Amino acid sequence: TRRTEYKHAVFGCTFCPSRKNCENVALLLSRILPKKFLQHRKREKQDLMDALDKVCGVLGDVLAKTIPYGIAYHHSGLIMDERKFIETAYRFGVLSVICCTSTLAAGVNLPAKRVIIRAPYVGAEFMTLCRYKQMVGRAGRAGMGEAGESFLIATSRDNVRVGEMLFSPMDKAITSLDYENCIGLQSLVLSAIGLEIAACRSDLYRLVGSTLLAVQASQLQLSTEQMVLQLIREMFKHKVLELCSPAAALQRNTSNILTTQDVKDPAHRTSQEHRRLFISKSTRFQLTNIGRAAFKAGIDYQRTYAIHAELKLAQKQLILTNYAHLLYLVVSFNSNTKGDELFQTDTNILYRAYMLLDETTQSLCHLLGFTEAIAVKMAKTLSVQGPLEVKLNRLYKVLILVDILNLTPIHVVASRYNVERGMLQTLINQSAAGASAIVRLCEQLDDFWCYKALFERVLVKLDRCGTMELEPLLDLPAVKINRAKQLYNAGFKTVEDIAKCKPIDLVTSVEHMPMKIAKEIISAAKIILMKKLDYLEEEAEALKVCLQ
């Protein structure tokens, strides 16, 4: 992008096919721009870099070189706070160019005067017309001039495909309820029965009949009633559903044979252990305990059974001297079939980390079947394969989470395990959501009553990743872990310290603290103390009554 007058900057977005390409293009632009751009809003750029360094924990090498020229990159490798700072700086004109991936095209309102698409690819996939329009639609929005510009850069070998893409019809909105063995439809049915929106086949037929799946059923050559019926059969077979009344099983209607189910009432058992159930469209049914656990945890019943088996096995030999075993169960909850979601395992790093583990964490490794002999073999082959592949991929994430819970700075963990900071933040968020789901699951299953308190504690640790002395500060609005550390280091160590200060004290004592946020924090601190005072007064009155 050539700018003849830096005082009138052209705000532009450059879309790149990959995260690495974003950084490379930002560096390239910063190298070819004249030095005079360094003086444009120099103080605001320095404030932005200070905020990224102190509030977010680290200023990346690439951003340190590009921000002085008004250029930054934006992709999932950045943590959420970094992305927010960059988006805000762009909106206020401190940054003039953002090099980004297609994720910025949806969900973030960042208009531009000029949009450049570096290549007609999103990752390795060729761009669709829908994605193309989503990107170029940022150019020429209100407030960015009378008109906008968009450029698509393509090689000669892609010219024909680009032309076909530009004149192709828009992507159709297709239902996803039938994807992956109807897992979406299963979730809908579980939720409908769990929320008591539906209690029989007729209710489910009406509900599914109002979905996009029913509208597109003839086009997709599907029968929604047959899909629902088959799903109900599978749910009864796997004991996810049960009849509301045992007497209903005696109502025979041969046109509505469903499947077999264990007969719980001994008075109605036959010589065989199973009998057929005959269910009409009006026969009422409900979720079993395992069904309610799947509904509350927000997962399908196949995964619920797999997690149930993991928790049952762990009960016999649970290691509680640190958080590693519980974190392994949380990672297992979120894991795919190979355990390689989010990022790949670096075998060299895993081997070095294993050799430095304490005795307690090594005992977890041995419990999983990962011994020193296997570690040495893995280091030689530089690969994670075989029956231990899933467990070792999960273990790699567990070691990362253990370091984070031990308050190791996130940029240090990212460097130590060769993982982008944004991916680490995603791992933390997914693990916190997984721990919360396991808590809800265990509430429905009496066998796992002991797990509830354990995973609630894990959830708090993952949610805050802070020490005990920072936890009271994290109850305040707009206070995350880095802000809590700033307040603590500035002398505001308790809620009481914050409640008795003035907003200007916070603004002057804590860097990058806006006056509006300072007022909100102080008001919230006072409300917390007032609630505490009310509770203490009620307790004092109760004690006075006892003394009389």
The string of pLDDT tens digits covering residues 3-22 is 433 344 557 899 998 889 99
Kindly tell me if the per-residue pLDDT of 2 is higher than 50.
no
CATH number (1.20.120.160, 3.90.1570.10, 3.40.640.10, 3.40.50.300) of 6-166 reads 3.40.50.300
How far apart CA 30 and CA 18 sit, in angstroms, is: 19
Q: How confident is the model at residue 269 (pLDDT cuts 50, 70, 90)?
A: very low
At residue 195, the pLDDT reads 93
Q: How far is CA 414 from CA 71, 76, 79, 83, 459, in A?
A: 24, 14, 11, 17, 21
> What average pLDDT does range 80-106 have in this prediction?
87
| Residue 135 buriedness (CB in 10 A; 0-12 / 13-18 / 19+) | buried
| pLDDT reported for residue 351 | 87
**pLDDT single digits (tens) 111-124:** 888 899 999 998 88
Based on C-alpha coordinates, what's the Rg of the chain?
A: 29
Average pLDDT, stretch 26-43?
91
Quickly count: other Cβ atoms within 10 Å of residue 27's Cβ: 16
Question: CA geometry: angle at 21 spanning 16 and 23, to 5°?
Answer: 110
Weakest-pLDDT range from 121-135, 141-155, 401-415: 141-155
pLDDT bin (cut points 50, 70, 90) of residue 262 is: very low
Topology given in CATH for the domain delimited by 299-464: Sec63 N-terminal domain-like fold (1.10.3380)
Higher-confidence position of 287 and 273: 287
Q: SS3 for 167?
A: coil
Structure tokens at 115: 């949009």
Strand duo 114-117 + 125-126: pairing:
unpaired
For domain 468-547, give the fold.
Answer: DNA polymerase; domain 1 (1.10.150)
Domain positions in the chain:
6-166, 179-287, 299-464, 468-547
- Catalogue the E-assigned strands of 97-172: 97-100, 114-117, 121-122, 125-126, 149-152
* Residue 472 CB contacts under 8 Å (≥ 6 apart), including other chains: 494, 495
Identify the residue with better confidence: 293 or 268: 293
**Contacting residues for 427 by C-beta, under 8 A, at least 6 apart:** 342, 397, 400, 401
Mean pLDDT of the chain: 84
Give the pLDDT score at 246: 55
User: Which pTM was predicted?
Assistant: 0.77
* Average pLDDT rounded to a whole number, residues 413-430: 90
